[in-house]
Chain A
Amino acid sequence: MPELLLEIRSEEIPARMQRRAAEQLKERLTAMLSEAGFTPAKDAVATYAGPRRLTAVVTDLPVAQPDRTVERKGPKVGSPQGAIDGFLKAAGLSSLDQAEQRDSGKGVFYFAVQRQPGRATTEVIAEIVPALIKAFEWPKSMHWATYSQRWVRPLHAILCIFDGKKVEGRIDLGGGELAFTDETVGHRFLAPAPFAVTSFSDYADKLDAACVMVDAAERRAYIARIAGQRAGEGGMQLRVDEGLLDEVTGLVEWPVPLLGKIDDAFMDLPAEVLTTSMRAHLKYFACLRLDDSLAPRFVVVANMENADGGAQVVAGNERVLRARLSDARFFWDQDRKKRLADRVADLKSVLFYQRLGSVAEKAERVAALARWLAARIPACDAALAERAGRLAKADLTTGMVGEFPELQGVMGRYYASHDGEPDMVADAVAEHYAPKGPDDRCPTAPVSVAVALAEKVDTLVGFFAIDEKPTGSKDPFALRRAALGAIRLIIENKLGLGLIELFERAHTLYAGFDRAKADGVARALLDFLADRLKVHLRDQGLKHDIVSAVFAVPGGEDDLVRLIARGEALKSFLASDDGANLLVAYRRAANILRIEEKKDGKRYDRLADPKLFVTPEEAKLHQAIMDIATKADPRLADEDFGGAMAVLAGLRQPVDDFFDRVTVNAEAADLRANRLCLLSQIRVAMDAVADFSKIEG
């Protein structure tokens, strides 16, 4: 069946928008074709994006739109004549004979049922394409010349071919129009002359001959392969950089990877400075030697095939890199003339956040909090933690970080080492922003852990105290990321810490904060962390209801390490036969209690009176409950949660026997009340280990 080919050609589309644009083109085209009654198969629509064109191809479209039945619901049978007349007019019927009567379930109504014969597919396409372009959404779009139409950059041509022939159509740009064409152009410089095409395969072949690789996936794979080869020719390998590969793929229609040389004079600059200089502004790939050290080479992906094999292009790029690196060298030399410790004062003029003071104040707080944390982190030197906390932000005032903000921390380490600071301090300065996400490496060196955690807790407490909490999708200060970072630092380093105390401590370090509000801020932040923890642990295989159950133990839990140990024990227990069975019994007890307490309007939370037991099952259950209290408590105190759960297992038989043989709702009121109290005690005893009422499923 025939094929539709659409190409929307414009001036250069930003690389970062291309992938999503191809996806959107596919979604919208599929939806609009479906709405028009075509039912394109899932793989019948393919789209492609590049710097100067978005392309779509739809295979297997019929030459005519399928016939469609359109129904219009009218008034109820027996409605006033006015309503009937209105319906007939709107539906284009001359009398009610042409309408059907149908029982809708809410009475009998008139329905106008009309068959719409399908139109020629070309006609439908001529409508769909302009509508698609008008509805298209770019992250940023613009006007050009005198038109009211918006596009990401000026729109130049719409190639639209169906079944081998140009579709007659046009788009109104608002102040002008663009007629569909069957012509396109190749590479801007290598093949600028227009040519006509008849099908996608014709299009792809001719564009390939005209130096355009239409498919971004193909361009990406080609770049990776050839760039790797170029590096390999020099006995090196390409430094893997998927993000850069994506970006470069969007900057070229005809990728030509070329190998360039880094002037030896710059090879003593820190490796991160070299790679960042090359990556950020120039989009070069770094090359590594076999020992993973940085080689004095780079790969630039040109969009051009030159007669000289790229010699002039490489020479030009090498010169640009030299200029960039001389700038970097200037910063590197200048920055080292002033000690990091002497830069701390300069942070006074750098604002942290309006109501949270300067970065200098933040550095002091982080230093103090890191010192406090050091006492709670095994083998952590308090003086070093404080020192590192104070120096952590000082590199923000250096020229290098001003030029390359992404090198914050990393440069701090180099400058700290240069100043002769201890390695542990230099490492902590470098690592204090980590972990920046779920996949980032989490610091493990004690001093680094102290400073990284202090930094995050200070930020969280500060923003919570001034009520700048994340809402919905809005999280302008990346507090969710900070919270996840804090959680990972704590649990991956197994830091037994009372978070409430930590948060209150951080709160008192803010000079202007009202001390009376510290507890409220700490509680709110703990709730926030609990939510983040649930997300984090869910990814690690611990369900949110288990986390809720262990957070809600009597007295609350704010020590994440203990909480997770208890959660893991609970998870295993619930997976065991005893645990599953006991959960059923727990729920049965809780249900009965809820119903009876509601009926009686009072609570049965007294201790059961052994004198009122009439069956051995009651006495045995009572004894088992007593045993639990005496046996589970010391285990909980020792944080032997598996042991505490095992004690709970001892309840199973007595509880089962109780429910099998004892009628809770006995005739005698005092017996009934006493048995309800016994059920209540089951609940209390179990909740001391974990709040079983939170368990779902």
Chain B
Amino acid sequence: MAISRPTSFQSLILTLQAYWAEQGCVILQPYDMEMGAGTFHPATTLRALGPDHTWNCAYVQPSRRPTDGRYGENPNRLQHYYQFQVMMKPSPADIQERYLGSLRRLGVDPLAHDIRFVEDDWESPTLGAWGLGWEVWLDGMEVSQFTYFQQVGGIECNPVPAELTYGLERLAMYIQGVDSIFDLDFDGVPKNRGGKTYRDIYHRAEREFSAYNFEHADVDRLFVHFEDAERECARLIEARLALPAYDQVLKASHLFNLLDARGVISVTERQAYIGRVRTLAKSCCETWVG
């Protein structure tokens, strides 16, 4: 078997996993539900709050943003993409250096590039969460988000975690020097030996899910599902089952994103829906720590 080229999309993930395992992180697998970002994984959201004083984890998380779908026609946008997520709590004093170490491991030599930390505060109105940090620029390209969580679910984080999110496709595009996501070498196997590009694997999904997200998702049913999730969440909170209740938050959040993509939520309603998800997320967080 040919050895996967070190710059392939999948070896990027393997390299990051190996690196952060060396840094003492628990290497988790993706959470098995639809979510808009790696931050929603309970290993980040809930573990940022407790119960452990020390919690270090890393994982890759498929992320879905229905409104970003472009039917596979835009070289830079996807409705389904990957984030690599790292959280270390309490935030280590050398976390910036550790992050730069991961770039070095990926073959990005800081001396050959221009790497900068540019102010970018993070807020998730649906999770009632916020933090301060930066986006990390690699020769002008934003390749990671770096956040010191201050609150999650309206609860103060103590100790404070540092969260890193790598935009894997962007990083891979940079490292491989390609201008379209779909041209990314996924497995490092030469084409003539059955090697796959990102296009081979995901282009059809982008087309079909864009059509689903924008045209075919059954709006009435989505509204019903949203309310079901909301009700189920409240019931599980009553039963003090924080984790199953939190799964319902994830559902509600994704359903809201779908409804948003279908363009049926007006500006005024939008805030109200976000507020409803936030209320659920807050009670899950309270139940989790309580």
Which A residues have a C-beta under 8 Å from some C-beta of B? 11-12, 14-16, 51, 140-146, 152-154, 156, 188-190, 251-252, 282, 300, 302-304, 306-308, 310, 312-313, 315-317, 319-323, 326-327, 330, 349-351, 354
Contact B179 A323 (CB under 8 A): yes
Do A317 and B140 form a contact, CB below 8 Å, given A12-B134, A144-B148, A156-B93?
Answer: yes
Contact B114 A303 (CB under 8 A): yes
Q: Is B192 an interface residue (CB 8 A)?
A: no
Once bound together, how far apart are the Cα atoms of A315 and B116, in whole Å? 16
Contact B112 A349 (CB under 8 A): no
Of chain B, the residue at the smallest CB distance from A323 is B76
Contact B267 A313 (CB under 8 A): no
Once bound together, how far apart are the Cα atoms of A308 and B109, in whole Å? 13
Q: Tell which of A12, A143, A190, A330 touches B74, judged by Cβ atoms closer than 8 Å.
A: A330
Contact B121 A140 (CB under 8 A): yes
Contact B266 A349 (CB under 8 A): yes
Once bound together, how far apart are the Cα atoms of A146 and B74, in whole Å? 44
Contact B131 A142 (CB under 8 A): yes
Once bound together, how far apart are the Cα atoms of A51 and B134, in whole Å? 12
Contact A303 B140 (CB under 8 A): no
Q: Is B200 an interface residue (CB 8 A)?
A: no
Q: Is B115 an interface residue (CB 8 A)?
A: yes
Q: Tell which of B118, B134, B148, B174 touches A142, judged by Cβ atoms closer than 8 Å.
A: B148
Contact A350 B148 (CB under 8 A): no
A16 to nearest B CB, angstroms?
Answer: 7
Chain B 110-144 interface mask (CB, 8 Å, partner A; 1/0): 11111111110100000000011110001111000
Once bound together, how far apart are the Cα atoms of A246 and B243, in whole Å? 47
Contact A316 B113 (CB under 8 A): yes
Q: Tell which of A16, A145, A154, A310 touches B119, judged by Cβ atoms closer than 8 Å.
A: A16
Do A251 and B116 form a contact, CB below 8 Å, given A145-B159, A323-B179?
Answer: yes
Of chain A, the residue at the smallest CB distance from B178 is A319
Query: Can you list 26 A-B contacts (CB < 8 A)?
Result: A11-B96, A12-B117, A51-B117, A142-B148, A142-B160, A143-B148, A143-B160, A144-B160, A144-B162, A145-B93, A145-B160, A153-B132, A154-B91, A188-B110, A189-B110, A302-B114, A303-B116, A304-B115, A307-B112, A308-B112, A312-B112, A316-B113, A319-B179, A323-B179, A326-B76, A350-B267
Q: Tell which of A145, A153, A188 touches B90, judged by Cβ atoms closer than 8 Å.
A: A145
Q: Tell which of B110, B131, B140 touches A300, judged by Cβ atoms closer than 8 Å.
A: B140
Once bound together, how far apart are the Cα atoms of A153 and B266, in whole Å? 37
Do A251 and B90 form a contact, CB below 8 Å, given A140-B132, A143-B160?
Answer: no
Once bound together, how far apart are the Cα atoms of A327 and B179, in whole Å? 12
Contact A327 B74 (CB under 8 A): yes
Taking CB atoms, residues of chain A closer than 8 Å to B131 are 142
Taking CB atoms, residues of chain A closer than 8 Å to B91 are 144-145, 154
Q: Is B75 an interface residue (CB 8 A)?
A: yes
Once bound together, how far apart are the Cα atoms of A364 and B74, in whole Å? 36
Q: How large is the interface on B (under 10, 10 to 19, 20 to 34, 35 or more residues)?
A: 35 or more
A137 to nearest B CB, angstroms?
Answer: 15
A179 to nearest B CB, angstroms?
Answer: 14
Tell me whether chain A's interface is mostly helix, strand or loop, or mixed: loop
Q: Is B158 an interface residue (CB 8 A)?
A: yes
Taking CB atoms, residues of chain B closer than 8 Å to A349 are 266-267
Contact B159 A316 (CB under 8 A): no
A177 to nearest B CB, angstroms?
Answer: 13
Of chain B, the residue at the smallest CB distance from A304 is B114
Do A323 and B75 form a contact, CB below 8 Å, given A156-B93, A303-B116?
Answer: yes
Q: Is B29 an interface residue (CB 8 A)?
A: no
Taking CB atoms, residues of chain B closer than 8 Å to A282 are 140
Once bound together, how far apart are the Cα atoms of A140 and B132, in whole Å? 8
B129 to nearest A CB, angstroms?
Answer: 13
Taking CB atoms, residues of chain A closer than 8 Å to B110 are 188-189
Taking CB atoms, residues of chain A closer than 8 Å to B133 are 153
Once bound together, how far apart are the Cα atoms of A15 and B266, in whole Å? 36
Q: Tell me the B64-104 residues at the A interface (CB within 8 Å).
A: 74-77, 90-93, 96
Chain B 136-177 interface mask (CB, 8 Å, partner A; 1/0): 001111000000101000000111101000000000001000
Once bound together, how far apart are the Cα atoms of A608 and B118, in whole Å? 79
Taking CB atoms, residues of chain A closer than 8 Å to B121 are 140
Contact B141 A320 (CB under 8 A): yes
Of chain B, the residue at the smallest CB distance from A301 is B114
Contact B113 A319 (CB under 8 A): no
Taking CB atoms, residues of chain B closer than 8 Å to A141 are 132
Q: Tell which of B90, B139, B160 touches A320, judged by Cβ atoms closer than 8 Å.
A: B139
Most A Cβ at <10 Å: residue of B114, B116, B179? B114
Of chain A, the residue at the smallest CB distance from B119 is A14
Taking CB atoms, residues of chain A closer than 8 Å to B115 are 189, 304
Of chain B, the residue at the smallest CB distance from A322 is B179
Contact B138 A189 (CB under 8 A): no
Q: Tell which of A16, A143, A188, A330 touches B150, judged by Cβ atoms closer than 8 Å.
A: A143
Contact A154 B148 (CB under 8 A): yes
Q: A142-B150, A144-B160, A316-B113 are in contact. List 5 more A-B contacts (CB 8 A).
A: A152-B132, A252-B116, A304-B113, A308-B112, A317-B140
B219 to nearest A CB, angstroms?
Answer: 15
A338 to nearest B CB, angstroms?
Answer: 15
